Amino acid sequence: MAMKSQTQKSLLFAFVASIAACGLIGIYCLLKGDIGDLEARVLGTTAAVGGASILALASAIPWERKRWQPIGPVGIAVVTITLVQMLCLIWLGKYSDLEFLLKALGVSCTFSVAVPHIGLLSLARLQRQYEWVRVATIAAISLLAGIVSLLIITEAGEYAIVQVIGTLAILDVCGTITVPILHRVSAVNTVDAIHSATREVSLTCPRCAKPNKRLIGRSGCPHCGLIMNIEIEEEHCAKCGYVLYGTTSADCPECGAPIGATNNAAK
């Protein structure tokens, strides 16, 4: 966990540093009056590093939170491959097969955006009745990435393909906007249930043996003043971490795993 957190910090630092470098190089070129070949390559390199850093960061978050493994590591690998291809194009373009390199770069860029996108969608915790929205969005993203990659490779330009791409892109945008909203809606009932369960507890004071109600946290007995710190640990699904308070079914409402089986296995 610590290593992955450090990875996220490093990626964020790389992104900020690349943006700063782009700004400084832009100011230098503006003051100089023109952009030479070296300046253009350095500017392209910093921009590529910045874009790759933010995409890799988007993949590192689900990796750290152990969501839909191995979507996080795969995203980082794809982004790394794309960055290497882009740097080769920037610095070795004159000595390479440009057509092949550009096609490979186009396919890599497509998937370096699609895979982190799917990884971010995996972070949403949805109730089971809303899960189909995420599934449909991920299907649209996958199909869109596949068709765009095929279009890059074959250089086909039929209008029907453009229509399909446009349709999938609209579905992708709509789903991407809807999933966070459904995540928020799904969390409302969960939060309310936790608060109703953990606002206060009834107990007998171990010093004066008098019954009283105590708020969760640090408080004193109203009769003898004994200070106690009360903590409640909610039961979570051992597979996905979903809070199980108020759940009446035998399966986790988020991932569908059997509650007893996963929790016993975790123990």
The domain segmentation of the chain, as residue ranges, is 1-123, 126-198, 200-266
Kindly state the percentage of the chain with pLDDT values over 90.
Answer: 19
With bands split at pLDDT 50, 70 and 90, how would you rate the model's confidence at 239?
low
**Proportion of the chain in helix, strand, coil states, percent, rounded to 5:** 70, 10, 25
Give the pLDDT score at 53. Answer: 87
Cα separation, 68 vs 121, whole angstroms: 10
Helix (H, G, I), strand (E, B) or coil at 155: coil
With bands split at pLDDT 50, 70 and 90, how would you rate the model's confidence at 189?
very low
What is the model's pTM?
0.64
Amino acid at 194: I
Name the token pair of 125. Answer: 């915790």
Name the token pair of 102. Answer: 């550009």
Give the pLDDT score at 173. Answer: 93
- Give helix 2-32 / helix 37-64 axis angle, nearest 10°: 160
Q: How many CB atoms lie within 10 A of CB 133?
A: 18
If you average pLDDT over residues 247-255, what whole number do you get? 70
The more confidently predicted of residues 215 and 137 is 137
Question: What does the pLDDT look like over 22-49, one tens digit per residue?
Answer: 777 777 777 777 777 777 788 888 888 8
